[in-house]
């Protein structure tokens, strides 16, 4: 199992502080992979025309490859609060998502993470709206899947942290993915999102999803809200989770969706990053 972290030169804090040395620093700190964050729909890759975006990401890919860093996964467009209620909203989001899938291929990456659309709000669970939410997601995701297959990119649907949303829990995401039934449509397991639900055990949910897990978002939590804490700063049982990954023979990337504090001076940021790699090695059993 390799170790990765969400990082790119698009960031204003975090690893983006190192500019053209971003990927060299990742390698120096002990990472071998990165989750390229393309979630912000106002980022340059979406506001530039396609040729400019391609050129920017081809350069990004070249820098990563030169440093020996694999761009293992890309986080697709996400807006908060969600803006999926109207047909116009969904059409605009679809256009940006299709562009993001194409640009994922430009980066040489095979895995693209997406959240469910939330057209009827965040509290549709156990209501008549839940069936409508699922039906609208099927239509939306199947259209996205056509583009993903064209560029040989796997769509990885992520479990969510909203307590009353009908597509939040891992079992619901698994049900949806199994109904889609395509090798280009798998799961991104988000550890922090599972951990907002006190009744769920992360290790058990990991075993439930099994081979449908394509990528990970690894971070800690303290129930109720999405905090993106570093491992061992919250309530997750990391030893149990590491064992579950070994039990299902997960051979992908242990990819952090957290990082050293963005306000840390460079020297302290780098020291904390190296420590995070050591923590990850402990969890996955390579130290």
Look at strands 2-6 and 213-217 and give their pairing: unpaired
Look at the alpha carbons of 230, 234, 239, 244 in this order and tell me if their dihedral is positive or negative: negative
The answer to whether the beta carbons of residues 172 and 115 sit under 8 Å apart is: no
The two tokens of residue 143 are: 């259209």
The answer to whether the beta carbons of residues 248 and 210 sit under 8 Å apart is: yes
Q: How far apart are CA 175 and CA 179, in angstroms?
A: 6
Predicted TM-score (pTM) above 0.95: yes
What is the three-class DSSP state of 154? strand
Q: How far apart are CA 1 and CA 284, in angstroms?
A: 7
pLDDT by residue, tens only, the chain of 287 residues: 999 999 876 677 789 999 999 999 999 999 999 999 999 988 889 988 999 999 999 999 999 999 999 999 999 999 899 999 999 999 999 999 999 999 999 999 999 999 999 999 999 999 999 999 999 999 999 999 999 999 999 999 999 999 999 999 999 999 999 999 999 999 999 999 999 999 999 999 999 999 999 999 999 998 878 999 999 999 999 999 999 999 999 999 999 999 999 899 999 999 999 999 999 999 999 86
**Domains, the chain, ordered by start:** 2-284 (3.20.20.150)
The alpha helices in the chain, defined as continuous H runs, are: 22-29, 44-47, 50-67, 87-106, 129-150, 170-180, 191-194, 202-209, 238-247, 266-284
The answer to whether the beta carbons of residues 98 and 145 sit under 8 Å apart is: no
């Amino acid at each position: 199992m390799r170790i990765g972290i969400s990082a790119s030169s698009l960031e204003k804090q975090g690893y983006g502080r190192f500019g053209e040395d971003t990927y060299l620093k990742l390698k120096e700190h002990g990472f071998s992979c990165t989750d390229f964050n393309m979630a912000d729909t106002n980022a340059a890759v979406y506001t530039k025309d396609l040729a400019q975006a391609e050129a920017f990401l081809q350069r990004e890919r070249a820098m990563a490859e030169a440093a020996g860093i694999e761009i293992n996964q890309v986080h697709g467009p996400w807006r908060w609060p969600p803006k999926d209620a109207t047909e116009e909203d969904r059409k605009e989001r679809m256009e940006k998502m299709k562009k993001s899938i194409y640009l994922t291929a430009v980066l040489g990456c095979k895995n693209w993470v997406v959240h469910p659309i939330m057209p009827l709000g965040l509290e549709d669970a156990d209501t008549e709206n839940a069936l409508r939410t699922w039906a609208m997601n099927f239509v939306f995701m199947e259209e996205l899947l056509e583009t993903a297959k064209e560029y040989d990119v796997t769509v990885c649907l992520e479990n969510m942290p909203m307590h009353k949303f009908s597509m939040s829990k891992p079992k619901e995401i698994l049900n949806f993915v199994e109904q889609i039934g395509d090798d280009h449509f798998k799961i991104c397991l988000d550890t922090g999102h599972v951990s907002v639900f006190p009744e769920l055990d992360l290790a058990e949910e990991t075993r439930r999803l099994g081979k449908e897990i394509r990528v990970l978002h690894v971070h800690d939590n303290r129930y109720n809200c999405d905090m993106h804490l570093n491992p061992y700063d919250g309530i997750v049982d990391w030893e149990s989770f590491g064992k579950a990954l070994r039990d299902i023979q997960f051979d992908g990337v242990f990819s952090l969706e957290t990082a050293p504090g963005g306000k840390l001076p460079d020297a302290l940021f780098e020291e904390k990053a190296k420590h995070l790699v050591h923590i990850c090695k402990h969890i996955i059993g390579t130290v």
